[in-house]
Structure 1
Amino acid sequence: MPADLNLPIDINSVKGFLAADEGLALYQYALAASKLGPCLEIGSYCGKSTIYFATACQQNNSILYALDHHRGSEEHQLGEEYHDPDLYDAGIELMDSFRTFRITMREAQLEDTVVPIVSSSAVASRHWATPLGMVFIDGGHSEEAAQTDYRCWSTHIKPGGILAIHDIFPNPEDGGQAPYNIWKLAKASGLFEELPTVNTLGLFRRK
């Protein structure tokens, strides 16, 4: 796994919550998975994970669909723990990370690889018919949001493709349990082969 991807942007300058080892794992798995078909991430925020993911897709002339309603998760809202005032639109009293995301994609030279989908996960999946090489779930961390993301997208992964789930905390004292709960669903489903977890990034291969 390369320690330096020679990115055109300083990855540490991009807002986000993905650790470096998780980002490099995402890149490594996407290098192979994007040869199987286009890929999808759920929860782009300002584009940190997107850079790792899409850089791998770009090398294979593949596509990354970047799905996010860009109104922030529960913890990003006004008065919550991870609220960022720079991403708050006071005029409409809502979070909006899409403008920052677009700037990030331009600076990372990924506009020809990343297809933004500004929508909720449930709406975007309603008529989805494209098989995917890899799905990365890092959207809302409420139980309802995580379950929706898993239910709507996990079956679209091609055999041999990858399912990645961020923020896996088996111990409730370390973090929220919704991502861990869908990780357990994937493990018990019979559809996936479990791969080694990288930090809090849970990984599976579709059988």
Structure 2
Amino acid sequence: MTGQSWRLPADPPGRPLEYWLSPDLARPVPPELPSRLRELADTQGTLTAAWGAGIGAGAVFVLAGIFVAALGGGLAPLVVLGVLGATLVVLGVLGCRRVGSRLPDTTRTLIARGPGSARGGLSMLAFFGVALGAGVASVAPGQGKSMLTALIGTYVLIMLFLTACIVVPATIMGRSRETFRRKATNDTGFRALLEQDLVTWRPPVGNASYGPL
């Protein structure tokens, strides 16, 4: 808040996990202030976003293979892009499940370059969409039907790929803390991991706080 200097207090002894997960506790605290729960949620969100982008990109590769084959490119592009896309989707799904089933290692620094919210991702996508659309519009006049179809299809595929690589991870990261809270509330196995972490965690520097989220 403007004009206030925020500092998270040291953990009061005996506070249960439910206390630290409370949205009421987190609401007045600036989102940029760190805590153990926020670090866990942000790290898990970044990892899930990477795998989620892989799932989206894989689906686009499959569509690209179908599109190229429909344009008369033969079965080879369909097979190659289809296998590549399906592999990315499977690996992405398995990766998301693996990340969501355990607490992330927060000792490694993860750098996410790009927007961190759905709004930011959509804004970046709109910028690329306008720029690419202007390029397509400049070369479209005078083109034959087949070439025009190829141009429009390529534009759509590029936009879908950018959506997978920009909007999907940005949305996941933007909702990472709320997703983490919901999982900690509804998933008994994941909650047990957090309960154990609450008991064993010690602040690496000073008297940092375990929460809020």
Which TM-score tier does this pair reach, normalised by the shorter chain? Answer: under 0.3
Relative to its length, the structure with more helix (as a share) is 2
Q: TM-score, normalised by structure 2?
A: 0.26
Higher RCO (Cα < 8 Å, 6 or more apart)? 2
Larger radius of gyration: 2
Q: TM-score, normalised by structure 1?
A: 0.27
